Amino acid sequence: MRAGRRREEPVVFLENQRNHKNIPVLYWENSVGRSQSCDIVLPDSAVSRDHAVLMRRESGWLLTDTDSKGGTYLNGKRIRDTVKVIPGDLIGIGRTNLVFRRVTDANVKSPRHRARRTANQASLLAMCTIIQVLCFIQAFFGDKQFSMLPLIPMITVIGAEWVFYMISRHVLGRTNFELETLAFTLSGVGIALLCGTREKLTKTQTAPSPFTLYHPTMDAVYSQIIMMVGGLVLFSFLIWFMQDLTRVNKWRTPIAVIGLLLLAAPLAIGTSVNGSKNWIHLAGISVQPSEFVKLCFIFAGAATLDHLQTRRNLIGFIGLLAGVMGILILERDIGGAAVFFATFLIIAFMRSGSMRTVVLSIAAAGVGIVTVLTMFGHVKERFEVWRHVWDTNNIYDKGFQQTRVLTYSASGGLFGVGIGNGGLGGGTGPLKGYTNVTANTSDLVFGMMNEELGLLMSIVLIGVIAMFILFARSDATRSRSTFYSITACAAAGMLLFQACLNIFGSTDVFPLTGVTLPFISAGGSSMMAVWGALAFIKSSDERTYAVRRRS
């Protein structure tokens, strides 16, 4: 994980008292030891392979011993906990004495690196707005009937993203808004697709006139917009919360416990939906706790470098995984279990760097899958129909959902039939004669995307989701702490894996798991949670907290 990290312009260095060589301190978190994999290598037989960690925090520079045999000394006294280091302090590691000094105290060469280029954020957001407007315009003429109902959702979505941009840019002083722009693009397109669906009128409802601005059949759209705004609030809170790594380390265990309790809540007060008991319905509001527990899981699984060095094993995190998987099995949520396990593999590999851990975990998962298949009929049924949806005995029964999604997807061609005109969304469409598919705007939304937007646009939108991985990889090499690196890669990997499960499940490449497509699928809990996951990627960007560090 250390390979490829961008080096900071050193502001401090360590002066070796034995040979008077100056060692520049290049990172926010620096491992010190005899091993060649350490950031600061000390060729001293009395030094442990991973001896100590020197960290830069908002309060200054900190030093901690990582359970070394000989101990670490500061000004002649052995340290037991993390201690603050100031210029002039003498650090004793093995038989090596290092004086902590500022760069201004000596001529230390600084490695040169290119400054990260920042795109014009307003221009990117303007492009996002254009894409959204074009999608909403299609919704105005959906089902070959003009309607003003999408107007207020369009204004609200576009207004929310520009207000958020202004606050981020001019109030918080942040220069990076690329991630939010990508997320707004996906969210806006998803809401436009939802505007194009045509809900059936109840007996007491009358059809809206073309110039009606609000109708109860649009309530699902407004709920999705409210959840998007809620996601922005959660996103902003997590960015603020994670800026203090001391607070992060303090809350990791409590958040893990809260996550387990939240995940277990549906077992006591939840209801079953499509065979899985993972929903809570209170006062007309439906919540899927497992979506938020994903954030708790990532948060609890990551760690700063000093914690990684002093707590090398994954026993605690494996215990958390076991608790999560056990609850999900009881709730019969196979899709959620797959997402959590994939996230665990990413975090476990980044924490340990060991492929052995990953292989053993996958082997254990194989045993778990066999166990689940023998325990739960609805899961076994999904695996039985997998790759056989077009069989005569499945096409109108167990494979009905996927065969319809594949058929509707193919009817859209490369450029789609237009938002609101697809049969999968309830419009007229070339395949109106088919029965509407349930979960067409959530678990099976990929089919509606293909039909109404076309294959080319769907590929572009999936490419946008994949770009989160590129951002996470780039930011992980520049982040201030391994905590940010791990959370960013885990969150991006989770979003991409979830997208793959949704796409490949609805097209019969994978068994149908019932997970949502990030940012696009309708679902309040999912919308808020994916914005929360985006905060992990955002926090790893060195520019996010740059203003605070300068102030």
State the SS3 of 46-79: CCCCCCEEEEEECCEEEEEECCCCCCEEECCEEC
Question: CB neighbours of 133 closer than 8 A, spacing ≥ 6?
Answer: 154, 158
Return the pLDDT at 481: 87
439 neighbors 404 (Cβ within 8 angstroms): no
Return the pLDDT at 105: 62
187 has pLDDT over 80: yes
Q: Which of 550, 551, 540 is nearest to 243 (CA)?
A: 540
Whether pTM exceeds 0.75: yes
Query: For 12-15, which contacts have Cβ atoms below 8 Å and span 24 or more sequence positions?
Result: 12/61, 12/87, 12/100, 12/101, 12/102, 12/103, 13/101, 13/102, 13/103, 13/106, 13/108, 14/40, 14/91, 14/98, 14/99, 14/100, 14/101, 15/98, 15/99, 15/101, 15/106
Lowest mean pLDDT among 166-170, 322-326, 437-441: 437-441
- How many CB atoms within 10 Å of residue 174? 22
177 has pLDDT over 50: yes
pLDDT band at 4 (very low <50, low <70, confident <90, very high): very low
Beta bridge partners of 279: 271
pLDDT band at 358 (very low <50, low <70, confident <90, very high): low
Return the pLDDT at 90: 94
Q: What is the sign, positive or negative, of the torsion defined by CA atoms of 532, 534, 536, 538?
A: negative
72 neighbors 92 (Cβ within 8 angstroms): yes
Query: Per residue in 478-488, pLDDT tens?
Result: 788 889 999 99
- Of all residues in the chain, the percent with pLDDT exceeding 70 is 84
Domain 12-104 bears CATH identifier 3.40.50.1220? no
434 has pLDDT over 50: no
Rounded to whole angstroms, the Cα distance separating 337 from 335 reads: 5
Return the pLDDT at 430: 47
- Concatenating the DSSP letter of every residue in 439-507 gives TTTTTTHHHHHHHHH-HHHHHHHHHHHHHHHHHHHHHHTT-SSHHHHHHHHHHHHHHHHHHHHHHHHHT
* Domain definitions of the chain by residue range: 12-104, 121-388+428-544
Query: Per residue in 98-137, pLDDT tens?
Result: 999 988 765 555 545 454 556 688 899 999 999 999 999 9
Which SS3 state, helix, strand or coil, does residue 327 take?
helix
What proportions of the chain, in percent to the nearest 5, are helix, strand and coil?
55, 10, 35
**Side chain identity at 269, as an amino acid letter?**
I
Instruction: Give the C-alpha distances (Å, rounded to integers) separating 155 from 122, 164, 192, 214.
Output: 18, 14, 11, 13
Residue 184 or residue 314, greater confidence: 184
Q: What is the sign, positive or negative, of the torsion defined by CA atoms of 316, 322, 325, 327?
A: negative
456 has pLDDT over 90: yes
Return the pLDDT at 231: 96
Query: Per residue in 138-161, pLDDT tens?
Result: 999 987 788 899 999 999 999 999
551 has pLDDT over 50: no
Q: What is the mean pLDDT of the chain?
A: 84
Lowest mean pLDDT among 56-60, 321-325, 452-456: 56-60
Return the pLDDT at 1: 47
Residue 19 or residue 257, greater confidence: 257
Return the pLDDT at 550: 46
Return the pLDDT at 517: 93
359 has pLDDT over 80: no
Return the pLDDT at 379: 60
The four Cα atoms 450, 455, 461, 466 give a dihedral, to 10 degrees, of: 110
Going by the DSSP 8-state scheme, the letter that residue 419 receives in this structure is: T
Buried b (16+ CB within 10 A) or exposed e, 301-319: bbbbbbbbbeeeebeebee
**Side chain identity at 266, as an amino acid letter?**
P
Query: For 2-5, which contacts have Cβ atoms below 8 Å and span 24 or more sequence positions?
Result: 2/31, 2/37, 2/39, 4/477, 5/477, 5/478
Buried b (16+ CB within 10 A) or exposed e, 229-266: bbbbebbbebbeebbbbeebeebbeebbeebbebbbbb
Return the pLDDT at 75: 93
Lowest mean pLDDT among 123-132, 230-239, 317-326, 346-355: 346-355
Rounded to whole angstroms, the Cα distance separating 62 from 38 reads: 17
Return the pLDDT at 465: 93
Lowest mean pLDDT among 289-298, 412-421, 428-437: 428-437
Pull the structure tokens for residue 418.
């237009």
Return the pLDDT at 354: 64
Query: Per residue in 515-526, pLDDT tens?
Result: 899 999 988 899
Rounded to whole angstroms, the Cα distance separating 174 from 20 reads: 41
